[in-house]
Structure 1
């Protein structure tokens, strides 16, 4: 199912690398003439990212140097590593010896690269540009490279990729057509018994291993999504490695290329939660599918495009999902939306999450999240609060120290339309208490969304704004507390009861409200001397709420504590309180 969906994505895109090839960022080019004489270094891309070129795919594993063809990193191409700059200044003999060992390893990599280049050049003697690279090394071209004005830039970025360019040519040597033909015919290895490809359903000569894929937190050289350990209990009927799950070379190349495309730097088809990396894609390439992919990326709040207006972006995202769920943006009934969660592992990449839904169903779930998180916002410049990053920041100290598995659980709730995790709600309550009743809009939205989806004991659902018909004791106590706080501020210019009494009032109302109600009488008398009308305004609100409270509860369970804070938030943001906007 997963591999077939990735295979279909490869075919859907149409612009992904062909079998045996891959797009790689190359930051420096060694410009030489047809006789191998060094001319200059050229930098491609910027100081962060190189220029992408279509080159022969390279696979590296184990400790033995395995160079790529006519391109590789600085260690392989230039026989240079950062230890070379440090070894001269190292006084400690043990540390110096260790640095020298690293230098020797780098030299072995360069030797392996040169041998591989000469081997391939001999296969295609008519290709002059391949021979020119061999001549470059034979003539000691590396000494000339180190004299180039761009060499200091290379030393600062010793992990980037390098290739070769013949002066006057437009394509780099690694893009030579003969290398592509070599890629198409290489890695055939040992012929295996014909099998049915589990991805395409066609007869094939199956591959024994799959291409490694690098994910955040995993092996830098990559791990395999599909892998079998020989003689470890995974083999069956005498088969070994991937022959247990046969797939053709083209199918294997397609799904690994598709996965690498979505995991690539700058991709808008991925997001990261903790040590999990999620990729997502639609089965179709129509307008609705593309907008859904872009919208989900923006919703999760992990974009680095700082110049964009976040308010406009979130609003545009909501419009997209609403249009799809309502049917105004047409979708095909067969169109699917996929989300794949991956985690690094020692042996291979672990699949930790997989979701497949129709486009319409997925859009409906996202639209429901927007609706559930909607709450009154009277700020002059409203800001988006539906994004996952904003939600997690609201329930943690300074946006850090997120409870393990919480991001993944919240994302799952959004994607599947199921109740939000209890940990999200309880963390929100704890942060409000820890910050002396700071009920910012995101926290209020989280509490409303959690309680409404849970709707335990058939409690009345929380509305977007003040609900005077809500008779829940916690909600009423929160409203009353907001009125008493407003009365104190109007009378004294301060609201000390929030810091002194709010936490206790939200959990044990009967122990606190008699005290603050008594204080409110003094506040009323003081305010009435100067602002009689305002004093009556607060007193009428107090009487209105008190008439609906039969007895103050001894305790409020956690759900009603959330309703307390929501009642407080709603009362503070009620439009009828315009005269007390300074609160």
Structure 2
């Protein structure tokens, strides 16, 4: 199923549930309602904003749909717009104070004079009379709040209520809806076969504006657009190059904007990509689809799960002190005492900004059980001891180890979409993920659990894709399994060199305490890339540090323990150290360093009691 077809189908589901506006309408953020008297006078201004947050935000209201304001000629909306069109006033661009927008106000008035030429409805007549008599000079006379400027405004007839007794906007009056529905019908372009539905219908000249993609323009972007001759073919213009009916274009736009809305629960971000996901209700029904979306949201770290879901996955994600271990996905789903079909279809769409357009970074269709199985495989690749995360990381958290100063804006472009594709398909992680993590370490960032886990995941997935088991002898290829926790039998030279570097650092810390620049600060990058040029110097310095420990009172046993650990690591190394380690081996160096750095010394037995060392010192003291 194509992207537009899947979104069009999802629109039908949302429409049945009342989650989207009907065809010809859209949901927009409205800040104020101008309350008019029947003669067109402005009685008051009603504040519709939500004031519960740090800053007031407009209220979502279903209004006649918008259209793109391309070109230099202002285009007005029907019975609503921002203050530049409705009042002819707004905040000036590049200059302080209120600016008059006469052309915008004239366009708004002319649009309504044309559409309401034969109107007899009191509400529509009140709007016409207001537009005919309103002048910007009356703004100060009515003492309207400056908050109206550059805000979206609607009209309301004073005292007008709906069947439930609630205040009704003019555009919701039956006469206004009839005018707009007639306008939508006659404004359609030439008919053609819709590429999405296969039906002959008027083709959309311009596709809807999509809002909510991180980094895109605040006014929104287009998923489908043709604004240059290079994008056209056979002399066709704009939407005729990819004929999609007006109804279908409106439907997919409404569905996608609903998925991208704030607090939708179906939206996540990783890198420069904003992704949405939704479930199909065609097989299991609406309840099953909603439950499937809740499971996916929890699994991807978008939202917290209900107590039922959290309990069902607790044993899979953190049971028994291991993380993560999702053994039987279907059995886990059966523990949830709600209607949930493991075969529910799941759609995931990733978008990123591209000027006035939106680029598709990711499009994936799968089933719920297969999706969670892929996630379980991904979490297994990320598994490392000590534990890097308390719960499975979200895609955004997964990219933080490769971001400078933790800023997601510094993540290499396109990386987020490639990582997410590897997670969903079970394919290899992008090689740039390993390179970016190593670059952060060479830049001086610490070897944290998330960075070590990310590096291990890239290497381990490569091993699985090559289909090779653990090799008996040393190798500088990536054919060996990458240990989850400290493996004293691991023969890989890079892994052992990482362990050795951690031991040398611990010796320095034990002998000298805190120093301005440790060997990790000075030599980690060089040791992991060119061991032969660094380790001889480090071993000579370590002999002096061990001598200091022997001379100190109470640390002689610690020196003996360090020597024994270093000998155990070095016994598995060749006498000739490698001159250079390629990125895969540098990654194994990091994993070995992390394991040895965080390893706890085992309790001594009776035979070793006299030479046993106390607990190793840490960075904290």
- Aligning the two structures, in what range does the TM-score lie when normalised by the shorter sequence? 0.7 to 0.9
Q: 1:294 aligns with which of 290, 293, 297?
A: 297
Moved more, 255-264 or 76-85: 76-85
The correspondence of residues 256-267 of structure 1 with structure 2, limited to 5 A, is 256-267=253-264
Asked whether the 8 Å contact 1:31–1:164 carries over to 2, the reply is: yes
Q: 2:36 aligns with which of 32, 40, 44?
A: 32
Structure 1 pair 385/438, CA: closer, same or farther in 2 (3 Å)?
farther
**Equivalent position SS for 2:487:** coil
Task: Kindly state the Cα deviation for residue 473 of structure 1 after the two structures are TM-superposed.
Answer: 0.5
Which residue number corresponds to residue 520 of structure 2?
Answer: 498
**Count of residues in correspondence between the two structures:** 549
Q: 2:248 aligns with which of 247, 251, 262?
A: 251
Q: 1:164 aligns with which of 155, 158, 161?
A: 155
Residues 129-185 of structure 1, C-alpha deviations (whole Å, 9 max, x = no match): 11112223344475554345552223xxx3320112222231111222223233333
Which residue number corresponds to residue 562 of structure 1?
Answer: 587
1:207 aligns with 2:203: yes
Q: 2:107 aligns with which of 112, 116, 135?
A: 112
Which residue number corresponds to residue 76 of structure 1?
Answer: 85
Structure 1 pair 77/8, CA: closer, same or farther in 2 (3 Å)?
same
Moved more, 498-507 or 273-282: 273-282
1:482 aligns with 2:502: yes
Following the alignment from structure 2 to structure 1, what is the Cα–Cα distance between the partners of residues 316 and 70? 42
Runs of at least 5 residues in structure 2 that lack an aligned partner in the other structure: 161-166, 305-309, 319-323, 334-339, 467-476, 603-613
Asked whether the 8 Å contact 2:87–2:134 carries over to 1, the reply is: no
Asked whether the 8 Å contact 1:225–1:349 carries over to 2, the reply is: yes
1:580 aligns with 2:616: yes
Structure 1 pair 508/367, CA: closer, same or farther in 2 (3 Å)?
same
Following the alignment from structure 1 to structure 2, what is the Cα–Cα distance between the partners of residues 321 and 550? 37
Which residue number corresponds to residue 513 of structure 1?
Answer: 535
Instruction: Give the aligned CA root-mean-square deviation in angstroms.
Output: 3.6
Following the alignment from structure 1 to structure 2, what is the Cα–Cα distance between the partners of residues 230 and 515? 63
Task: Kindly state the Cα deviation for residue 245 of structure 1 after the two structures are TM-superposed.
Answer: 4.8
Following the alignment from structure 1 to structure 2, what is the Cα–Cα distance between the partners of residues 72 and 549? 74
Which residue number corresponds to residue 58 of structure 1?
Answer: 66
Which residue number corresponds to residue 607 of structure 2?
Answer: none
Task: Kindly state the Cα deviation for residue 422 of structure 1 after the two structures are TM-superposed.
Answer: 1.7
Asked whether the 8 Å contact 2:87–2:136 carries over to 1, the reply is: yes
Which residue number corresponds to residue 382 of structure 2?
Answer: 373
Following the alignment from structure 2 to structure 1, what is the Cα–Cα distance between the partners of residues 91 and 327? 54
Asked whether the 8 Å contact 2:115–2:179 carries over to 1, the reply is: no
Q: 1:450 aligns with which of 440, 443, 458?
A: 458
Which residue number corresponds to residue 125 of structure 2?
Answer: 131
Following the alignment from structure 1 to structure 2, what is the Cα–Cα distance between the partners of residues 152 and 129? 26
The correspondence of residues 16-415 of structure 1 with structure 2, limited to 5 A, is 16-45=20-49, 46=51, 47-59=55-67, 60-83=69-92, 86=95, 103=100, 106-125=101-120, 127-140=121-134, 143-154=137-148, 158-169=149-160, 170-189=167-186, 196-201=193-198, 203-215=199-211, 216=213, 224-227=222-225, 234-235=232-233, 242=239, 245-272=242-269, 276-284=273-281, 285=286, 286-295=289-298, 298=301, 325-329=329-333, 330-333=340-343, 335-344=345-354, 349-377=358-386, 386-400=393-407, 401-415=410-424
Following the alignment from structure 1 to structure 2, what is the Cα–Cα distance between the partners of residues 517 and 167? 87
Following the alignment from structure 1 to structure 2, what is the Cα–Cα distance between the partners of residues 129 and 491? 86
Following the alignment from structure 1 to structure 2, what is the Cα–Cα distance between the partners of residues 506 and 412? 30
Asked whether the 8 Å contact 1:366–1:414 carries over to 2, the reply is: yes
Structure with bigger RCO (C-alpha 8 Å, 6+ apart): 1
Following the alignment from structure 1 to structure 2, what is the Cα–Cα distance between the partners of residues 147 and 539? 88
Which residue number corresponds to residue 94 of structure 1?
Answer: none
Following the alignment from structure 1 to structure 2, what is the Cα–Cα distance between the partners of residues 192 and 110? 27
Which residue number corresponds to residue 543 of structure 1?
Answer: 567
Following the alignment from structure 2 to structure 1, what is the Cα–Cα distance between the partners of residues 350 and 405? 29
**Equivalent position SS for 2:294:** helix
Asked whether the 8 Å contact 1:385–1:442 carries over to 2, the reply is: no
Runs of at least 5 residues in structure 1 that lack an aligned partner in the other structure: 89-98, 306-310
**Equivalent position SS for 2:29:** strand
Following the alignment from structure 1 to structure 2, what is the Cα–Cα distance between the partners of residues 233 and 476? 56
Structure 1 pair 566/572, CA: closer, same or farther in 2 (3 Å)?
same
**Equivalent position SS for 1:211:** coil
Q: 1:470 aligns with which of 487, 490, 496?
A: 490
Following the alignment from structure 1 to structure 2, what is the Cα–Cα distance between the partners of residues 86 and 228? 34
Following the alignment from structure 1 to structure 2, what is the Cα–Cα distance between the partners of residues 325 and 558? 35
Following the alignment from structure 2 to structure 1, what is the Cα–Cα distance between the partners of residues 349 and 217? 23
Structure 1 pair 245/471, CA: closer, same or farther in 2 (3 Å)?
same
- Structure 2-normalised TM-score? 0.78
- Structure with greater helix percent: 1
Structure 1 pair 283/118, CA: closer, same or farther in 2 (3 Å)?
same
Asked whether the 8 Å contact 2:300–2:395 carries over to 1, the reply is: no
Residues 220-273 of structure 1, C-alpha deviations (whole Å, 9 max, x = no match): 65554345679868556x976545654444333211211222233444434456
Residues 91-141 of structure 1, C-alpha deviations (whole Å, 9 max, x = no match): xxxxxxxx9xx74xx21111221232333333331x111111222334447
Asked whether the 8 Å contact 1:365–1:415 carries over to 2, the reply is: yes
Following the alignment from structure 2 to structure 1, what is the Cα–Cα distance between the partners of residues 555 and 442? 33
Task: Kindly state the Cα deviation for residue 363 of structure 1 after the two structures are TM-superposed.
Answer: 2.2
- Structure 1-normalised TM-score? 0.83
